[in-house]
Chains A and B, each alone.
Chain A
Amino acid sequence: MAPHEIDELISNQLPEGLLRGLVQAVFTARGLAWEECQRLARPEAENVRPWIARAHLEGFLRNVAERFPQVSATVERASNWNHTEIHAGRLILTQNSVPTPCAMVDASDFRRELAVNNGQISLLPELQEVDPSKFLVLLLHSQYRCVDPEQQEMNGHLAGSAYLAVPAKDLNGYLHRVNLFDRFPDVVRAQLPADWTDAAVVSFMGQARRIGAA
Chain B
Amino acid sequence: MRIGTSGFVGARLREARDIRGQTAVGLAELTGLSRQAISQYETGRATPSPAVLDALADRLNIPVQFFTRPERDLARGTLFYRSMASTTKGARLRAEGRLSWLRDIVSYLSGHVALPPSNFPDLGLPDNPLLLSDSDIEAAADDVRRYWNMRDAPIGNMVTLLENQGAVVARDELGADSLDGLSEFAPDEGRPYIIIATDKGSPVRWRFDAAHELGHIVLHGALKPDTLTKSAEFKRIEEQAHRFAGAFLLPMTAFTDEFFAGNLDAFRPIKSKWKVSIGVIIKRARQADLISEEAERKLWINYARRGWRKKEPYDDTMEPEMPRLLRRSFELLFEHGNQSPEDVLAALALPARDIERLTGVEPGFMGTDYAPVSLLASRDPFTADPMRPPADVIRLPLRPRTR
Cβ contact within 8 Å between A67 and B290: yes
Cβ contact within 8 Å between A56 and B265: yes
Cβ contact within 8 Å between A28 and B260: yes
Cβ contact within 8 Å between B262 and A28: no
Residues in A1-35 with C-beta less than 8 Å from chain B: 20-21, 24-25, 28, 31-32
Contact with A along B258-269 (1 / 0, CB 8 A): 101111011011
Which residues of the partner chain A approach B265 to less than 8 Å between Cβ atoms? Answer: 28, 32, 56, 59-60
Given A25-B260, A60-B260, A66-B295, residue A32 in contact with residue B290 (CB < 8 A): no
> Does A128 count as interface, using CB distance less than 8 angstroms?
no
> Does B257 count as interface, using CB distance less than 8 angstroms?
yes
Cβ contact within 8 Å between A59 and B263: yes
Bound together, the chains give a CA A161 to CA B268 distance in angstroms of 22
Which residues of the partner chain B approach A56 to less than 8 Å between Cβ atoms? Answer: 265
Please classify how large the interface on chain B is, using the bins under 10, 10 to 19, 20 to 34, 35 or more.
Answer: 10 to 19
Cβ contact within 8 Å between B261 and A64: yes
Which residues of the partner chain A approach B263 to less than 8 Å between Cβ atoms? Answer: 59-60, 63
Instruction: For residue A29, give the distance in angstroms from its CB to the closest CB of chain B.
Output: 8
Bound together, the chains give a CA A170 to CA B258 distance in angstroms of 37
Given A66-B295, A67-B290, residue A21 in contact with residue B261 (CB < 8 A): yes
> Does A190 count as interface, using CB distance less than 8 angstroms?
yes
Bound together, the chains give a CA A60 to CA B261 distance in angstroms of 6
Instruction: For residue B305, give the distance in angstroms from its CB to the closest CB of chain A.
Output: 15
Bound together, the chains give a CA A59 to CA B257 distance in angstroms of 20
Residues in B278-297 with C-beta less than 8 Å from chain A: 290, 295
Q: Which of A59, A60, A64, A190 contacts B258 (CB 8 A)?
A: A190
Which residues of the partner chain B approach A190 to less than 8 Å between Cβ atoms? Answer: 257-258
Nearest B-chain residue to A18, judged by Cβ:
B260
Which residues of the partner chain A approach B260 to less than 8 Å between Cβ atoms? Answer: 20-21, 24-25, 28, 60, 64
Bound together, the chains give a CA A20 to CA B295 distance in angstroms of 21
Bound together, the chains give a CA A63 to CA B269 distance in angstroms of 16
Residues in A77-126 with C-beta less than 8 Å from chain B: none
Bound together, the chains give a CA A32 to CA B269 distance in angstroms of 8
Residues in B208-267 with C-beta less than 8 Å from chain A: 257-258, 260-263, 265-266
Bound together, the chains give a CA A56 to CA B257 distance in angstroms of 20
Cβ contact within 8 Å between A31 and B269: yes
Bound together, the chains give a CA A20 to CA B268 distance in angstroms of 18
Contact with B along A50-82 (1 / 0, CB 8 A): 000000100110011011000000000000000
Given A66-B295, A67-B290, residue A32 in contact with residue B261 (CB < 8 A): no
Given A28-B269, A31-B269, A32-B268, residue A63 in contact with residue B257 (CB < 8 A): no
Which residues of the partner chain A approach B269 to less than 8 Å between Cβ atoms? Answer: 28, 31-32
Cβ contact within 8 Å between A28 and B266: yes
Which residues of the partner chain A approach B257 to less than 8 Å between Cβ atoms? Answer: 190
Bound together, the chains give a CA A25 to CA B258 distance in angstroms of 11
Instruction: For residue B297, give the distance in angstroms from its CB to the closest CB of chain A.
Output: 14
Nearest B-chain residue to A56, judged by Cβ:
B265
Bound together, the chains give a CA A66 to CA B262 distance in angstroms of 8
Bound together, the chains give a CA A190 to CA B290 distance in angstroms of 19
Which residues of the partner chain A approach B262 to less than 8 Å between Cβ atoms? Answer: 63, 66-67
Bound together, the chains give a CA A70 to CA B261 distance in angstroms of 16
Instruction: For residue B181, give the distance in angstroms from its CB to the closest CB of chain A.
Output: 30
Instruction: For residue B157, give the distance in angstroms from its CB to the closest CB of chain A.
Output: 16
Cβ contact within 8 Å between B258 and A63: no
Which residues of the partner chain B approach A64 to less than 8 Å between Cβ atoms? Answer: 260-261
Nearest A-chain residue to B254, judged by Cβ:
A190
Bound together, the chains give a CA A138 to CA B265 distance in angstroms of 23
Which residues of the partner chain B approach A21 to less than 8 Å between Cβ atoms? Answer: 260-261
Bound together, the chains give a CA A199 to CA B42 distance in angstroms of 71
Nearest A-chain residue to B256, judged by Cβ:
A17
Given A66-B295, A67-B290, residue A25 in contact with residue B268 (CB < 8 A): no
Bound together, the chains give a CA A190 to CA B262 distance in angstroms of 19
Nearest B-chain residue to A20, judged by Cβ:
B260
Instruction: For residue A48, give the distance in angstroms from its CB to the closest CB of chain B.
Output: 16
Bound together, the chains give a CA A171 to CA B402 distance in angstroms of 65
Bound together, the chains give a CA A67 to CA B290 distance in angstroms of 7
Instruction: For residue B79, give the distance in angstroms from its CB to the closest CB of chain A.
Output: 39
Cβ contact within 8 Å between B266 and A25: yes
Bound together, the chains give a CA A190 to CA B259 distance in angstroms of 12
Nearest B-chain residue to A22, judged by Cβ:
B260
Instruction: For residue B258, give the distance in angstroms from its CB to the closest CB of chain A.
Output: 7
A-B contact pairs, 9 of them (CB 8 A): A21-B261, A28-B260, A59-B265, A60-B261, A63-B263, A64-B261, A66-B262, A67-B262, A190-B258
Chain B residues close to A by CB (< 8 Å)? 257-258, 260-263, 265-266, 268-269, 290, 295
Which 5 pairs of residues, A with B, have the shortest CB-CB distance? A63-B261, A21-B260, A24-B260, A63-B263, A60-B261
